[in-house]
Amino acid sequence: MLVKNRNMENTSLESKEVKEVKEVKESKENKEEAKNLKVEVEAENLNFFYGEKQALYSINLKIPEKSVTAFIGPSGCGKSTFLRTLNRMNDIIVSARVEGKILLNNQNIYAPNVDVVDLRRRVGMVFQKSTPFPKSIFDNIVYGIKINKLANSRTELQQMVEQALKQAALWDEVKDRLNDSALALSGGQQQRLCIARTLAVMPEVILMDEPCSALDPIATEKIEELIVELREKYTVIIVTHNMQQASRVSDYTAFFLLGQLIEFDETEKIFTYPKEKKTEDYITGRFG
């Protein structure tokens, strides 16, 4: 629905962009409803350091549930770093240090009593380069289910695998070769497998770190369709370098620059009437 209509007539580049934005607008007629949505992820005065170097400066942000939020900005602006603070993936970096709070359903995930392992199950993550384990397709999905002890029987396990693959729109392509190595899949299929693997552990939030940057346009389109569908059930946060992608798939957009959150708003507003000059400059391609 949100995905760009490729047959659309366009007279000039500008009008194409306007039309795209219009499409997005139509699909979100119920603006009021969107505003009343519960806040799922919230950053409160978040600072982040790699050793001495500060990478994020007092980020404040509220991301509603069951929406797609895009993080855009030039390389090194801190958007990936911020994404990785949301499931505490930065914890594995020795010199990393966090100040401030990240609230997931009003609970601070940096509180001392938080179970990081369970947090990461609740906040799934898909990486830039697909990361299938060197196992069969079936076992890749099973891995997360097993370590989190989510299935009670073999039949339930198989059902969960099937459901996850269907949700990721991969089932039809792999149902006859579930025991083949996952590494034999194409790049786009591998990425959808990784999404299926994430869905299988029943997360609440799904983080995606440039999930399409290594894929061709057709594989990208499939992933984008998938992201739009995921919005029904999950809160999706996606880092992207591709502004068209941000405008196609997201409801909200956050623009980062030099470790600061410059602007956060509904995607259509960011792309039509940005409040900040810097956002406008970036979106219109004046830099970055």
Partner 1 sequence: MENLQEATKTDNLILAPRKKRWLMSPSADKAFHTLTKSLALFLFTLVIALVASMIYNSRLSLSRFGLSFVFSSTWDPVKELFGALPFVYGTLVSSITALIIAIPISLGVAIFLTEECPYKLRPIVLTLVELLAAIPSVAYGLWGIFVLVPFMRNYINPVLEKGLGFLPLFKGPSYGIGLLTSGMILAVMIVPIITAISVNSLNSVLPSQREAALALGATRWEATQIVLLNARSGIIGGIILGLGRALGETMAVTMVIGNRPEISLSLLAPSYTMASVIANEFTEATYDLYLHALIEIAILLFIITFIVQAFAQLLIRQISKGKKS
For partner 1, which stretch binds (CB under 8 A), given 42-50, 58-66, 75-83, 128-136? Answer: 128-136
- Looking at the Cβ atoms of 240 and 247, the one nearer to partner 1 is 240
CB 105 within 8 A of CB 272: no
Q: Whole-number minimum distance, CB 146 to partner 1, in Å?
A: 9
Asked if 197 interacts with partner 1 (CB under 8 A), we say yes
CB 231 within 8 A of CB 66: yes
Query: What is the spatial distance between Cα 193 and Cα 131, in angstroms, rounded to a whole number?
Result: 9
Order of strands across the sheet with 260-266? 123-126, 205-209, 235-239, 68-72, 252-257, 260-266
Asked if 133 interacts with partner 1 (CB under 8 A), we say yes
Binding residue for partner 1 (CB under 8 A) from 135, 233, 241, 269?
Answer: 135
Half-sphere exposure of 245 (CA within 13 A, CB side): 26
CB 90 within 8 A of CB 273: no
- Give the long-range contacts of residues 273-279, CB within 8 A, separation 24 or more: 279/255
Asked if 110 interacts with partner 1 (CB under 8 A), we say no
Binding residue for partner 1 (CB under 8 A) from 11, 53, 92, 218?
Answer: 92
Number of residues that bind partner 1 (CB under 8 A): 29
The neighbour count for residue 149, using CB atoms within 10 Å, is 7
Among positions 37-56, residues that touch partner 1 (CB under 8 A) are none
- Looking at the Cβ atoms of 207 and 283, the one nearer to partner 1 is 207
| Binding-site ranges for partner 1 (CB under 8 A) | 87, 89, 92, 94, 117-118, 120-121, 124-125, 127, 129, 131, 133-135, 143-144, 147-148, 181, 183-186, 194, 197-198, 201
